[in-house]
């Protein structure tokens, strides 16, 4: 097949205009790599008269997304409009008709992945979504193809650039959360309504997708436990540093004993862990496979051109399948894997207590911890003869509900003013 492959695109925002630019600028290179020409046939936009800052021929713009998506001559449909509807309906329809789909829509995949895969199987069409997770980092292909010889056991990632930027500023420059958020908004790293980022929703969607690929199972964003970064203070960041750690918003997936943990929350990791030096808007995903050991993938997790890079790689993959006349690639789950409740996970923990500095307080606390099978790895007292003083603890591995029960009891001790903070700790073997 040597005719040009016809591409329709839904959306011409930041990513869409980047995709159009790469298709145009690298037309010759892409023709070589895709085995023949790629042609941008039509682009759906809300209001063609308002499109700016793009090199796309205005003739290609169309305000009717359904019209663009159902065009019978389209070979590859690229969805970069975002949102659930009408993207969901249009992609389902296209896949069933055998149109290969490339999408950057993590929310859609994390909520309706199963349905999309079924439609793809029905239509023998490829479903490609490298751009949906971690922008330009080729982690989807790595999990779906390069780790074929592995059982993935764990996956940790920094997959949200907004929160990583905020935490980097809090860590490196001591900014309070609100100031760091404001700055991220001013720089365009954070949305005016930053909730989806700050509260870990965005990372949870990405984790559901990554864990599905890593473990060959089916997860939705709702399966992921979430805690955001809004409650972190410069004091927490300083305490982490004192303990040789940094705080990152990690997306964590682990398979143990036939269950999977899926969680997004602020996490202390050792300062010499490779993820600790992933700063600013960068993303990174750390994967442990039983054969390959530790791998890390690092790069820009968002932005116009990095995301466009991932979309275009998927277009080329789809084009090669089309030219070779073979069914598209659809990573299918092969098993079901129950998700462990957060209260049942085992982790190491950091917690900070404000206590009255008097003899016996540590003994009382240690007794409660021991009764709940929580063993202390290290403890630091901050300040002395202040009233109250602060005690910082790091535990060995403990079961979450036991740790929480212990802390509830500790909060009731007469010498204890309050439990100031609890943060899970990852990234080093339990000693």
Q: Which of 143, 145, 426, 428 is nearest to 287 (CA)?
A: 143
Question: Which residue, chain included where needed, has tokens 């079901």?
Answer: 336
254 is catalytic: no
Distance CA 213, CA 219 (A): 10
Instruction: Please choose, out of 82-90, 146-154, 235-243, 256-264, the segment that lies near its own copies by the rule CB under 8 A.
Output: 146-154
When asked if residue 100 is in the footprint of its own copies (CB under 8 A), the reply is no
How many CB atoms are closer than 10 A to CB 96? 16
Listing DSSP states for 36-85 in one string gives S-EEEEEEE-S-GGG--S--S-GGGEES-HHHHHH-TT-SEEEE-S-SST
CB of 331 to its own copies, least distance (A): 10
3-state secondary structure of 356: coil
CB of 308 to its own copies, least distance (A): 6
- Find the binding residues for its own copies in span 290-309 (CB under 8 A): 290-300, 303, 305-306, 308-309
Which is nearer to its own copies, 174 or 274 (by Cβ)?
A: 274
When asked if residue 411 is in the footprint of its own copies (CB under 8 A), the reply is no
3-state secondary structure of 282: strand
When asked if residue 33 is in the footprint of its own copies (CB under 8 A), the reply is yes
CB of 3 to its own copies, least distance (A): 19
When asked if residue 187 is in the footprint of its own copies (CB under 8 A), the reply is no
CB of 71 to its own copies, least distance (A): 23
Instruction: Please choose, out of 80-88, 259-267, 319-327, 393-401, the segment that lies near its own copies by the rule CB under 8 A.
Output: 319-327
When asked if residue 342 is in the footprint of its own copies (CB under 8 A), the reply is no
Query: How many residues can be counted in the chain?
Result: 431
When asked if residue 271 is in the footprint of its own copies (CB under 8 A), the reply is no
CB of 313 to its own copies, least distance (A): 5
- How many of the chain's residues bind its own copies (CB under 8 A)? 54
Q: Which of 206, 235, 248, 254 is catalytic?
A: 206
Q: Which of 64, 89, 277, 343 binds its own copies (CB under 8 A)?
A: 277
When asked if residue 148 is in the footprint of its own copies (CB under 8 A), the reply is yes
Q: Which of 233, 279, 263, 419 is nearest to 341 (CA)?
A: 263
How many CA atoms are closer than 13 Å to the CA of 17, on its beta-carbon side? 11
When asked if residue 39 is in the footprint of its own copies (CB under 8 A), the reply is no
Q: Which of 15, 30, 108, 369 binds its own copies (CB under 8 A)?
A: 30
Which is nearer to its own copies, 208 or 308 (by Cβ)?
A: 308
Helix 361-371 and helix 400-411, axial crossing angle in degrees, nearest 10 = 150
When asked if residue 18 is in the footprint of its own copies (CB under 8 A), the reply is yes
How many CB atoms are closer than 10 A to CB 158? 27
Instruction: Record the tokens describing residue 57, joined without a space.
Output: 């021929």
Bridge pairing between strands 225-226 and 127-128 = unpaired
CB of 18 to its own copies, least distance (A): 7
Listing DSSP states for 178-233 in one string gives HHHHHHHHHTTSS-SS-HHHHTTHHHHHHHHHHHHHHHTS---GGGSEE--STT--
Instruction: Please choose, out of 25-33, 169-177, 262-270, 340-348, the segment that lies near its own copies by the rule CB under 8 A.
Output: 25-33
DSSP letter (8 states) at residue 384: S
Instruction: Please choose, out of 102-110, 225-233, 316-324, 409-417, the segment that lies near its own copies by the rule CB under 8 A.
Output: 316-324
Q: Which of 130, 197, 220, 261 binds its own copies (CB under 8 A)?
A: 130
Close Cβ partners of 13 (under 8 Å, ≥ 6 residues apart): 80, 81, 82
Q: Which residues bind its own copies (CB under 8 A)?
A: 18, 22, 26, 29-30, 32-34, 130, 136-138, 141-142, 145-151, 216, 272, 274, 277, 289-300, 303, 305-306, 308-313, 315-317, 324-327, 334
Catalytic residues: 206
């Amino acid at each position: 097949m040597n005719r040009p492959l016809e591409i329709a695109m839904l959306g011409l925002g930041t990513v869409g205009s980047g995709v159009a630019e790469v298709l145009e600028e690298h037309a010759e290179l892409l023709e070589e790599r895709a085995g023949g020409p790629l042609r941008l046939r039509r682009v759906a936009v809300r209001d063609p008269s308002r499109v700016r800052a793009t090199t796309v021929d205005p003739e290609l713009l169309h305000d009717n997304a359904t019209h663009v998506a159902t065009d019978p001559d389209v070979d590859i449909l690229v969805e970069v409009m975002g949102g659930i509807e009408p993207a969901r309906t249009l992609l389902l329809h296209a896949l069933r008709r055998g149109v290969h789909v490339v999408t950057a829509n993590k929310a859609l995949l994390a909520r309706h992945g199963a349905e999309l895969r079924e439609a793809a199987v029905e239509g023998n069409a490829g479903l490609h979504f490298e751009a949906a997770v971690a922008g330009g980092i080729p982690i989807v292909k790595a999990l779906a193809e390069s780790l074929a010889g592995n059982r993935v056991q764990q996956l940790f990632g920094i997959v949200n650039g907004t929160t990583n930027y905020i935490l980097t500023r809090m860590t490196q420059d001591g900014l309070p959360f609100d100031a760091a958020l404001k700055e991220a908004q001013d720089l365009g790293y954070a949305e005016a309504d930053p909730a989806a980022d700050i509260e870990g929703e965005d990372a949870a969607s990405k984790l559901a997708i990554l864990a599905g690929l890593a473990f060959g199972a089916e997860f939705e964003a709702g399966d992921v436990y979430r805690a955001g970064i809004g409650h972190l203070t410069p004091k927490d960041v300083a305490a982490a540093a004192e303990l040789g750690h940094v705080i990152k918003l990690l997306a964590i997936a682990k398979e143990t004993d036939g269950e999977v943990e899926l969680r997004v929350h602020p996490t202390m990791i050792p300062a010499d862990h490779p993820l600790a030096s992933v700063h600013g808007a960068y993303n990174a995903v750390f994967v442990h496979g039983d054969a390959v050991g530790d791998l890390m993938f690092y790069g820009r997790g968002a932005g116009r051109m990095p995301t466009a890079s991932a979309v275009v790689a998927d277009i080329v993959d789809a084009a090669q399948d089309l030219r070779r006349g073979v069914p598209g690639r659809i990573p299918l789950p092969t098993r079901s894997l129950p998700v462990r409740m957060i209260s049942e996970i085992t982790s190491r923990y950091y917690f900070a207590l404000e206590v009255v500095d008097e003899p016996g307080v540590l003994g009382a606390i240690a007794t409660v911890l021991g009764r709940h099978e929580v063993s202390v790895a290290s403890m630091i007292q901050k300040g002395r003869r202040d009233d109250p003083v602060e005690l910082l603890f790091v535990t060995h591995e403990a079961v979450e509900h036991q740790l929480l029960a212990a802390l509830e009891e500790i909060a009731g001790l007469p010498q204890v003013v309050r439990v100031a903070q609890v943060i899970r700790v990852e990234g080093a073997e339990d000693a």
